[in-house]
A and B are shown apart, each in its own frame.
Chain A
Amino acid sequence: MTTPDPLLQVRDLRVNVGERTVLRSVSLDVNAGSLVVLMGANGSGKSTLGLALAGHPAYHVLGGQALLAGQDLLAMPAHERARAGLFLSFQSPPDVPGVKNNLFIRTALNAQRESRGEQPLDAFDFLTSAKQAAKGLGLPEAMLGRPVNAGFSGGERKRNELLQLSLLQPRLALLDEIDSGMDVDGVRAVVEQVARLRAQGTAFIVVSHYLQMIEQLHPDAVLRLDQGCIAERGDLGLARHIAETGFASRTAPVGA
């Protein structure tokens, strides 16, 4: 029996933001149902990796390759990458004034369903499952009727990301500091949600500095980014070590 190809394959990815090269060379594989934790000092390129893979227009790919289930991510516009199953939980999710949360998520879900040749959900069916999901995440139902992230606290915005993750059920989810701003219950909801989706085969790349959560996530690998390169690859032990000693004491990546 042959090992199946990794769900996500990134090879020598190089990315500029404006004139500045932020990712110098990143290669990594993530298998379906597995979870990779990405750590690194501020400015090391963690968020850039997610935004570049998701297709943010300000992030210019200079070279390299990124395949999601064999599809060339870098050749697709952002919305097609999402439809191919890539989900990015934003570090600072923006608001969309006047657009109700349930309309927003339903529009997204139906766009994805239609691209897969599935029937769109009507408002009623969607609302039923959205209410259920919200309840499971400890979110007040009223949040579905409010405009997307408008007037939401930092923690509420993150919970709203989690709600979208739970309803969109992507193949690959990049969670960029989803724990920041969240209370204890929020972090617990993240852990539960991740476990549930992983069991269904969703792969995760989680950017976090919060060791307690990282431990509960049971990562398959822990990577440390430094100056746009992967400087160290390890397991939970690496995360614990970083939490204890910080980034400053660690060696620069090879060749830097």
Chain B
Amino acid sequence: MASPDPISTARALADKPQEAPLEQALQRPYQHGFVTDIESDSLPPGLDEDTIRAISRKKKEPAFLLDWRLAALKRWQAMALPDWARLNIAPIDFQALSYYSAPKSMKDAPKSLDEVDPKLLETYEKLGVPLHERAALAGVAVDAVFDSVSVGTTFRQQLADVGVIFCSFSHAVQEHPALVERYLGTVVPQGDNFYAALNSAVFSDGSFVYIPKGVKCPMELSSYFRINAQNTGQFERTLIIAEEGSQVSYLEGCTAPQRDENQLHAAVVELIAHDDAFIKYSTVQNWYPGDEHGKGGIYNFVTKRGLAAGKRSRIAWTQIETGSAITWKYPSCVLRGEGSSGEFFSIAVSNHRQQADTGTKMIHLGKNTTSRIVSKGISAGHAHNAYRGLVRINPGAEGARNHTQCDSLLIGPHCGAHTFPYVDTARSDAVVEHEATTTRISEERLFYCEQRGIDPQEATALIVGGFCQAVLEELPMEFALEAKALLAVSLEGAVG
């Protein structure tokens, strides 16, 4: 079980409801709620060994992977749903979901973007995903995952010239099976937790990145994920390996169409950084959050973990989480290499009836390992936002240091912020610092902005942007603006 025993718990609840001019009806249409009308080739709902065999057969996978999936299924079948998060989750019928959905027109996989269904490309265009030359200008290579199959990867050749492999997971299984077999499940084992086990059994696609020794990846790598088909779960799996002295910055973006029923997303991301390697992994997650009454929306149960395996290796997670009805996500770092470091910069916004339970784990194993956590949680409407973090200093982690800064911002009287920082240290020389604040968007600050002529909407965006500044600074430049805009959109209608 991934959940640690609580050593200490701090909790900040929303103040008593005040007489609040801030309290307003929350009205905001979801910006990406269109459905693409494409025939899908889906498996019937249900999950058993046959489902796994069918997925593996459809994907023409080698035997080791089928065996691995089947072992994961066994683990999963013996596991119970985790209930320790501060989330209200309606029961999920895992047998009612379909575990594979590929757009039918892609049965014969496209050889180039020209062969990709124009409707798909249109979808990406609506999402603002730059698949063509625009991406080149931006220096971004995009791997777009639509439901479960990767539809096209740009710049594979340009990257290949420096030895970087950036492709869909399925492609990697076919072309680089040795790498996949060597690293798959080494950071997030099959039985790590309920959703990771489920993903290990049924994952259909995702991204694969390999950066060879000494190579600094010449461009930002980026994947866009989108859930389209009805009653499907999306289970992508991402694996990033950075060899000695290499560097890579990777960004994933997520959206889903607007549907009344809940959709399940259970991804696994594994990062491995060898000696002196640096992996920066940024996420802009904007899955459909459900409407203002809590109807519909994505259930986002994600396991992300990086292994700082080598000496002086470094892993940085940066995330902007504005979407999903439920977010359950703890991007973590296992700091094994001597002098390795882990960072976690997070902005989590929850509005309406959204629930977020997110944070990080920093597991210090090696000597002189350092970690830094900056978490900014924003709650509005009737939403609840929990930060849950673990800093563990193991007996061998001589000279380990951690600094955690954990701030919550409340907008309106009906939302809540909760902080659960766990610290578990086996060494007396460890330096573990934790700072936490909970504030409201103060009426005085809001009025100050308004007195200068700034309307309440923009004033809120300004104040929230300021609150998040320390994290926004960590985002790759070209995404910082997008993230700011997304924050503003997510909080539209939160004050008025």
A226 to B219, CA, bound (A): 69
- Out of A88, A105, A107, name the residue touching B451 (CB < 8 Å): A88
The smallest beta-carbon distance between A119 and chain B, in angstroms, is 16
Whether the pair A98, B453 counts as a contact (CB closer than 8 A) is no
Whether the pair B453, A111 counts as a contact (CB closer than 8 A) is yes
A164 to B454, CA, bound (A): 13
Whether the pair A82, B450 counts as a contact (CB closer than 8 A) is yes
- Out of B455, B456, B466, B468, name the residue touching A96 (CB < 8 Å): B466
A99 to B451, CA, bound (A): 16
Q: Interface segment, B85-93, B245-253, B438-446? A: B438-446
A194 within 8 A of B: no
- Out of B442, B443, B462, B467, name the residue touching A107 (CB < 8 Å): B462
Whether the pair B445, A96 counts as a contact (CB closer than 8 A) is yes
The smallest beta-carbon distance between A59 and chain B, in angstroms, is 10
Whether the pair A99, B462 counts as a contact (CB closer than 8 A) is yes
Contacts of B444 in A (CB 8 A): 94
A233 within 8 A of B: no
Contacts of B465 in A (CB 8 A): 98-99
A90 to B467, CA, bound (A): 22
Contacts of A88 in B (CB 8 A): 451
Q: Interface segment, A3-11, A49-57, A63-71, A237-245? A: A49-57
Whether the pair B450, A96 counts as a contact (CB closer than 8 A) is no
Whether the pair B456, A79 counts as a contact (CB closer than 8 A) is yes
A109 to B331, CA, bound (A): 41
Contacts of B443 in A (CB 8 A): 57-58
Which size class do B's interface residues fall under? 20 to 34
Chain A 76-94 interface residues, beta-carbon cutoff 8 Å to B: 77-79, 81-83, 87-88, 90, 93-94
Contact of A108 with B453 at beta-carbon distance under 8 Å, contacts A94-B444, A94-B448, A96-B448 already known: yes
Whether the pair A111, B462 counts as a contact (CB closer than 8 A) is no
- Summed over the interface, the residue pairs from A and B with CB atoms below 8 Å come to a total of 81
Interface string of A31-58 (1 = CB under 8 A from B): 0000000000000000000000011111
Whether the pair B450, A55 counts as a contact (CB closer than 8 A) is yes
The smallest beta-carbon distance between B358 and chain A, in angstroms, is 21
A54 to B456, CA, bound (A): 14
A168 within 8 A of B: yes
- Out of A78, A90, A98, A107, name the residue touching B470 (CB < 8 Å): A98
Contacts of A93 in B (CB 8 A): 448
B127 within 8 A of A: no
The smallest beta-carbon distance between B496 and chain A, in angstroms, is 10
Contacts of B459 in A (CB 8 A): 79
Chain B 464-495 interface residues, beta-carbon cutoff 8 Å to A: 465-470
Whether the pair A79, B462 counts as a contact (CB closer than 8 A) is no
A147 within 8 A of B: yes
A78 to B468, CA, bound (A): 26
The smallest beta-carbon distance between A149 and chain B, in angstroms, is 9
Centre residue among B21, B443, B452, B467 by max chain A CB count within 10 A? B452
Centre residue among B451, B455, B466 by max chain A CB count within 10 A? B451
Whether the pair B453, A115 counts as a contact (CB closer than 8 A) is yes
The smallest beta-carbon distance between A204 and chain B, in angstroms, is 16
Interface string of A106-131 (1 = CB under 8 A from B): 01110110010000000000000000
Whether the pair B466, A108 counts as a contact (CB closer than 8 A) is no
Contacts of B180 in A (CB 8 A): none
Whether the pair B462, A96 counts as a contact (CB closer than 8 A) is yes
Which B residues fall within an 8 A CB radius of A?
21, 442-445, 447-456, 458-459, 462-463, 465-470
27 A/B residue pairs, CB under 8 Å, sorted by A: A54-B451, A55-B450, A55-B451, A57-B447, A78-B447, A79-B454, A79-B455, A79-B459, A81-B451, A82-B450, A87-B452, A94-B444, A96-B448, A96-B462, A97-B466, A97-B467, A98-B466, A98-B467, A99-B462, A99-B463, A99-B466, A104-B449, A107-B462, A108-B449, A111-B452, A112-B452, A147-B466
Which A residues fall within an 8 A CB radius of B?
54-58, 77-79, 81-83, 87-88, 90, 93-99, 103-105, 107-109, 111-112, 115, 147, 164, 168
Nearest 9 A-B pairs (CB), nearest first? A98-B466, A108-B452, A99-B466, A98-B469, A82-B453, A78-B450, A112-B453, A79-B450, A57-B21
Please name 15 further chain A to chain B contacts, defined as beta carbons within 8 Å, in addition to the given A97-B466, A105-B452, sorted by A numbering.
A55-B450, A56-B447, A77-B450, A77-B456, A79-B459, A83-B453, A94-B445, A94-B448, A98-B465, A99-B469, A103-B462, A107-B458, A108-B449, A111-B454, A168-B452
